[in-house]
């Protein structure tokens, strides 16, 4: 019995938070995904680095890395009415 309780508590602690829109109760997963993508795009910057590769032609290669500010994404979602709820 004790082992079962430990497993249940562990699984409850690992539950992925879901989001619910209390302002628009008819919004579902599709609308959340769209809002999350828009918020992520709005809060992502791109940094580029250039490195020279040793080739006879002196080829230069650029790398672009996205950096997402996830706390700002959370604020953006909250502004759109989305709140985390544990399942």
Point out the least confidently predicted range of 3-7, 52-56, 58-62, 78-82.
Answer: 3-7
| Average pLDDT score over residue span 61-72 | 86
> What is the DSSP secondary structure assignment for residue 24, as one 8-state letter?
S
Q: Is 82 exposed, middle or buried (0-12, 13-18, 19+ CB in 10 A)?
A: buried
**pLDDT tens, residue by residue, 42-60:** 999 988 766 655 556 666 6
Parse the chain into domains and list their residue ranges: 17-85
Strands 44-52 and 60-68: antiparallel
> What is the three-class DSSP state of 52?
strand
Report field, pTM of the whole predicted structure over 0.85 = no
pLDDT at residue number 32 = 96
The set of long-range contacts for 1-5, using a CB threshold of 8 Å and a minimum separation of 24, is none
- Closest by CA to 81, choosing from 7, 23, 2, 18, is 23
What pLDDT band is residue 3 in, cutting at 50, 70 and 90? Answer: low
């Amino acid at each position: 019995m004790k082992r079962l309780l430990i497993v249940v508590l562990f699984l409850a602690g690992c539950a992925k938070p879901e989001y619910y829109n209390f302002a628009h109760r008819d919004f579902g997963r599709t609308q959340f995904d769209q809002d999350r993508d828009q918020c992520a795009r709005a809060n992502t910057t791109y940094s580029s680095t250039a490195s020279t590769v040793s080739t006879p032609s002196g080829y230069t290669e650029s790398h672009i890395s996205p950096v997402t500010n996830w706390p700002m994404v959370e604020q953006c979602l909250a502004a759109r009415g989305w709140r985390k709820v544990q399942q």
